[in-house]
Amino acid sequence: MVHETTVEQSLQLVTFLVGDHYLGIPLQGVQEINRSLLMTPVPDSSRIVSGVMNLRGEVVTVLDLKFILFGEKTEIGEDTRNIVVNVQSERVGVLVDRIVDVVNVDRDRMDDLPPNLEKSGRQFFMGVFQTKKGLLTMFEIDAAVRESEGLEV
């Protein structure tokens, strides 16, 4: 019995850095993590959209996660990665500054967001886990992708 509950409560998160924020999203929604950052810019588009990429014959929009969450533009560097997630049956890529790890967390041990958290991006954050590498914030990638559609930038 005890074993079963831990299985149910355990959650695998893909963790990464966006700026100096340590963030995680459930592994389940992640289709792949891509090194290829060959993107075609979409002229005159909102700054949330970094561009579009050719993912094995499919044109996939790549979003600037840092811009969605914190209003800053991602500088593409050595460690920048593209996490491809599936949101409402559309594949979308999000840029992160660096992939950290895949970690197991216990859903029960998620702490509430500190009330003094900055406003920006707050609506997408779900809670905080205390890990060895520091405080890991889990956020809802679906909502971030979905709602960024209408964001006026």
Partner 1 sequence: MVDSGFGEDEVVQDFIVESQEHLSDIESELLQIEEGGENIDSDLVNRVFRAIHSIKGAAGFLGFHVINDLAHNLENILGLIRTEELIPNSYIVDVMLKAADTLKSLVSDVEGSNDEDISEHIEALKKILEGETQEGSAENLETLVDVEIPDLDFPMEFEVTKHQLEQAEAMGNSLFLVKLDLFEDYQLQGKNLMDLVKDLLEVGEILDSGADLSSVELETGIESPKMGFFAILSTQKGREEIAENWGLPLDRVLPVPSSMADSLGIGEGSKLSQEPKDMAPDVHSEKPENVNSLGHAVKPEETGETPGCESPASAGQGMTQVTSEIAEKPPTEKPPTKTKEPQLTQPKNPTESKKGTGKNQRKTSQPKKTVESNIRVNVGLLDLLMNLAGELVLVRNQLTQSISNNQLDALGAIGGRLDQVTSQLQDAIMKTRMQAIGTVFNKFPRVVRDLSQKLGKKCQLEVQGKDVELDKTIIEAISDPLTHLVRNSVDHGIEAPLARIDKGKPEVGTIQLKAFHQSGKVMIEIRDDGKGIDAEVLKEKALEKGLFDPVQIAAMSDRDAVNLIFHPGFSTAENVTDVSGRGVGMDVVRTNFDKLGASIEIETVVGGGTTIQISLPLTLAIMAALVVECAGQAFSIPQVNIRELVRIKASDIDGRIDSVNGAEVLKMRGQLLPLIRLKDALHMESQDLDDSSDQAINIVVVESGMTRYGLLVDNLVDYEEIVVKPLGRHMKDRIELAGATILGDGEISMILDVSGLAQKQGLAVIDQEAFHGSEEGGPETNSDQETLILFENEDKETFAVPMTLVSRIERIPSEEIDMVGGKELYHYHGQALPLLSLDRLISSNPRVSQDTYYIGVFSVGGVELGLIIPKLLDIRDFSLVLDEGFREKGVLGSFVHEGGTVRILDLFEIAELENPDWGLKAEATSQGVDMDKQILLLVEDSDFFRKRVAEFLEESGYEVLTAEDGAVGWELFQQRHNEISVVITDIEMPVMDGFELTSHIKGNETYKDKPVIALTSLASEENQAKGVAVGVDAYLIKLDKEQILATIKKFCYQTVGV
Compare residues 23 and 48 and give the one whose CB is closer to partner 1.
48
Cα–Cα distance for residue pair 8/3, rounded to 1 Å: 9
Q: Does 63 contact partner 1 by CB under 8 A?
A: yes
* Type of residue numbered 41: P
Residue reference for tokens 């970690």: 103
Tokens standing for residue 12: 């695998």
Computed on alpha carbons and rounded to an integer, the radius of gyration of the chain in Å comes to 16
Candidates 40-48, 98-106, 115-123, 131-139 — which segment interacts with partner 1 by CB under 8 A?
40-48
- Sheet of 49-55: strand order equals 30-34, 81-87, 90-96, 58-64, 49-55
Burial class (CB in 10 A: 0-12, 13-18, 19+), 93: buried
Q: Which of 8, 32, 58, 106 binds partner 1 (CB under 8 A)?
A: 58
Q: Which of 28, 40, 120, 130 binds partner 1 (CB under 8 A)?
A: 40
Least distance in angstroms from the C-beta of 128 to partner 1: 28
Q: Does 36 contact partner 1 by CB under 8 A?
A: no
Compare residues 11 and 60 and give the one whose CB is closer to partner 1.
60
Q: Does 54 contact partner 1 by CB under 8 A?
A: yes
- Partners of 15 in the β-ladder: 24, 101
Q: Which of 7, 43, 78, 132 binds partner 1 (CB under 8 A)?
A: 43
Site for partner 1 in 69-108 (CB under 8 A): 90, 92
Compare residues 46 and 131 and give the one whose CB is closer to partner 1.
46
Cα–Cα distance for residue pair 15/128, rounded to 1 Å: 12
List interacting residues with partner 1 (CB under 8 A): 40-46, 48-49, 52-54, 57-61, 63, 90, 92, 148-149
